[in-house]
Amino acid sequence: MAEALISVLLEQLASITRQQVQQQVKLVVDVKKEVAKLTHNFQAIEAGLKDAEERQVKEASVKLWLDDLKDASNEMEDVLDDWNTEILRVQIEKQEKEAGNALDTTKKKVCLCIPTASFCSGQVSRVIFRHDIAKKIKDLNERLATIAKRRQDFNFQYTKSGTEHIERQKTISFVDQTFGRVDEKELLVGKLLSEPEGQSPIVIPIVGMGGIGKTTLSQLAYNDEKVKANFTKRIWVCVSEPFDELNIAKAIVGALGGDVNSILNNLEAFVQCVHKSMKGEKFLLVLDDVWNEDYTKWEKLKLPLQNGALGSKIIVTTRKEEVARMMGAPNNTINLKVLSDEDCWSLFARIAFANSNQDECRNLEPIGKKIVKKCKGLPLVAKTLGGLMLWKKTKKEWQDVLSSEIWELNTVEQQVFKPLLLSYYDLTPMIKRCLLYCVTFPKDLVIRKNVLIELWMSQGFLDSVGNKEKTILDIGESYFNNLVMRSFFQNFKENKFGNIKKCQIHDIVHDFLQYLTKNECLIVEFKGGEERIKLPDKLGHLTIMFSPEGPFPLSFDHCQRLRTITTFNCKITSLSRELILQLKCVRTLTLSWNDIKEVPDEVGVLVHLRCRSLEKLPEAMGKLTSLQHLHAKRTLLTLPRSIARLKSLRTLDLDVVIEDEEGLRLSDLRDMDELQGKLRIELVGELKDSAASDAEKAKLVNKKHLLHLKLRFERMPWFEWMESESEVNQSTIQEAVLNALQPNSNLESLEIRYYRGSTLCPNWTSSLINVKSLTFTECSICKYVPLSVLGYLGSLETLRFDWMEGVKKVGFEYSVDHQVILFPNLKQLEFKRMWEWEEWDHHDENDATSSSPTCFMPRLSTLSFEFCRKLKTLPDFLPRKTPLLQNLIISWCAILSQSCKDRQGPEWSKISHIPNIQIGGQTVQKDGVWIEQQD
């Protein structure tokens, strides 16, 4: 990690120097002199770092030298953060003063929350603070000079780093490819389908060393069609260490559809629930990765499982023969052997030669088969080495891997770690940091890709040199794909577009990462009755699991370098002022699923914050000038206006942005041009005449990274707005506000809800050239749906209208060019709860004056009408213009349903070509035969 950190520090030093010049501020005297010294020291050290990283495994003296370097570098990173934060503060104050736009801090004074040793304010404290930065830089320069001198004792060699950017090949789905195991699968499936002998459930242990494919074999059998048909319930539980009977029972109840939150949180209550849920069920339960040898713990779970039907089975995967014997299933044990050389080569070659031609394969195959011999028949090793060789194209590169000294290491604890080390050392420094950070997740956790990239971003791992042409998200995506191709991740779940959304880390890979970070990362599990835990002084990343209800369970008074605190399955209720003051170096704070209601004002010491489950944010949040991601629960009612200062904010995942006198206003979004992903804006109460001006100041059009936008106005029941005297005025104001909220043309989805303007589409609709999904919901006053305007949106794939009480007509409000293709890519069109809709606005194509389009919705595949009770007809374009239409749904549309039923209604000719039709409670199949169904 030192190699990557130094690359970042060199870039930060250059950046800070530029900023001091550009902002015309002199925060640290003799800055050029000090930066020159630092740069010289870091560059002198950097040249041989890759060699040092590899040699530390077998040379203790090199590891000690690297530890000293990382400690000094981490401290320097903190100092540069302080320095950069002060520059940002000066910049913000200068801009606010020039704009005459400074936030009102006279009513409630708050402390300037720069990450200093104590909270302070005023000119004198700033001078002291800057003096402290200068002194720390000078001291660190002296330390680095000593470290640089010591490097000469080791005679490090310069070696080039590996490949940084690997784009995932979407046509190749080899990452979870399975080779061999045909006989083993047949054996396991046979045992699962066998007639019961004696008492159920029968336990079938699969035993083998780590990385041999126990979980993969279980998955093959678990998803076998014959196995699926044989059991009424199938349940998969990741166990690992520790063997927690309560959590396993919870997982079983949850998998069976039970509400785990409604059950008393004790083992007996869940055991009783398991006993009741299993009654009469022929189930298949997989307990993956069991280490427990204590029969008393297993017995507590085994007894309620015996309530299942005869023929129920339990698969247990474990590395230990003792576990199989303890569970009383020696006769059913499957001892998994290593892969044959042939299968191992097939798995390796499938990955390693994925991007190679036949000549390259023939040229490299002899060396490749020698490399595969080192896999020792372990599929995880074969996949890892295949991922390593994928981007190596010369014989020399392949020979270097075969001849690597790493194969001769005796200090590596696990045989499988050696190929993982080879693949790890081949990564670039930046990607190494990203991979090592994954150890902060517990084993077996399903990891969301976008969350992982956010965490990398918060740690500063994605601000790498030489990637200025790409966004940080692009860099994170590239790093993730690189690690995927090298088989560091597995068990992928993809979205409908074929992109990876979730993944997991193999247990062996997790063990490997713990091996590499044992002095920097720690996972603390509270099992009950623990004495107070003392954390290592130089701990960098901490994960806390199963903390009991109450205040934060640990003290950080001596953990000066702590960068990450993450909690899982904890019940922490409060963060104290004293605790926050101990976390001044923390960049990532993840408090998911705790019961914390409020963060103290002292939160300003946190440089990067990612927080969930908050109900109140302090005004001091606005001082976190480096804050990039802010997540909070949906019930958050008021955001402090100080958040407007957060120009670095990329994620504002609060679901609501409130428009009121004291909280955040639309105009406060004006400088947040780095916002990305999704944003939901909710406008509360009656809007004033100035609302449109305020909305225009939000400058949504400048937020080019924002892809998904939801705009919600104040909801008002129809009987209120019908009687409201101010409704006409509100309608006009809302139209003006919506027109002022023009998003960037990069937007991909838009939802407008509770809008009460008389004109449905804003004047910027035609600019949405990339929008794929568009939804209008409860837009009550609008009487006409203008398809002409929407039809020009060339990227639009999904269009929805829901609960539009005022709409009476849908169609073309003006003539269009005869040669235009309207809705060229629309695939799904939905109309729901349009109670007053009566007719379509058609243009007669036979009319000489008509200019109807020659093509209309050519790719439409699904069309639905629900609760459109007054609609009489279907559109005339259906039989001629929608050749790909596969599905038509007409539900609770009395008049329209009657016109289409029984293949004789007046509208039947328009839909007879559609393969799948649902009308009310009836379905017409492709052959035209009606099949009766219930509504």
pLDDT of residue 851: 47
- E strands within 478-622? 490-494, 500-504, 521-525, 541-545, 550-551, 564-568, 572-574, 588-590
- pLDDT of 374 reads 85
Percent of the chain with pLDDT over 90: 19
Give 660 or 292, the one with higher predicted confidence: 292
As a whole-number percent, the residues of the chain with pLDDT over 70 amount to: 75
pLDDT digits (tens, 9 = 90+) for 219-264: 999 999 999 999 999 999 888 777 888 888 888 888 887 777 777 7
Q: Return the closest-CA partner of residue 617 out of 670, 581, 657, 578.
A: 657
Q: How far is CA 196 from CA 202, 282, 501, in A?
A: 8, 11, 40
Residues in CB range of 566: below 8 A, 6 or more apart: 440, 441, 541, 542, 543, 544, 588, 590
pLDDT at 6: 72
| DSSP H or E segment with residue 900 | helix 894-900
- Number of neighbouring beta carbons within 10 Å of residue 702: 15
Q: Which amino acid is located at 446 in the chain?
A: V
- What do you get for the CA distance between the two ends of the chain, in Å? 62
Residues 6+ apart with CB under 8 A from 272: 304
Q: Which residue has the higher pLDDT, 168 or 860?
A: 860
Average of per-residue pLDDT across 67-76? 85
Residue-level pLDDT at 231: 93
- Please report the beta strands in 833-906, taking only residues with DSSP state E, as ranges in sequence order: 839-841, 855-856, 862-866, 887-891
Highest averaged pLDDT of the listed ranges 346-350, 680-684, 905-909: 346-350
In the predicted model, what is the mean pLDDT of residues 684-695? 84
For 821, phi then psi, to 5°, come to -95, 115
What pLDDT does 167 receive?
A: 43
Does residue 670 or residue 127 have the better pLDDT? 670
Whole-angstrom Cα distance, residue 539 to residue 521?
6
* pLDDT over 50 (residue 117): no
pLDDT at 927 over 70: no
pLDDT (average), residues 894-916: 82
For the ranges 242-256, 473-487, 755-769, 822-836, the lowest mean pLDDT is seen at 242-256
Give me 418's structure tokens.
């050696």
Highest mean pLDDT: which range of 654-668, 719-733, 772-786: 772-786
pLDDT tens readout for residues 429-454: 889 989 999 999 998 889 999 889 98
Asked whether the predicted pLDDT for residue 704 surpasses 50, the reply is yes
DSSP secondary structure, 619-661, as one string: GGGGG-TT--EEE--TT----BGGGGG-TT--EEE-S--B-SS
Q: How confident is the model at residue 660 (pLDDT cuts 50, 70, 90)?
A: low
Which of 149-163, 186-200, 305-319 shows the lowest mean pLDDT across its residues?
149-163
**Residue 25 pLDDT greater than 90, yes or no:** no
Residue 166's pLDDT band (cuts 50, 70, 90): very low
> What DSSP character marks residue 198?
S
pLDDT at residue 856 in the model: 82
The HSE-up count of residue 218 (CA atoms within 13 Å, CB side) is 29
- β-pairing, 784-786 vs 809-811, is parallel
Average pLDDT over residues 308-328: 88
Q: How many CA atoms lie within 13 A of 809 on its CB side?
A: 8
Q: What is the mean pLDDT of the chain?
A: 78
**Position 607 pLDDT exceeds 70:** no
Q: What is the pLDDT of residue 604?
A: 56
Q: What are phi and psi of 749, to 5 degrees?
A: -145, 145
From CA 928, how far away is CA 935, in angstroms rounded? 20
Query: What value does the mean pLDDT take over residues 276-288?
Result: 89
The angle formed by the CA atoms of residues 438, 442 and 443, to the nearest 5 degrees, is 95
Given a cut of 80, whether residue 625 has pLDDT beyond it is no
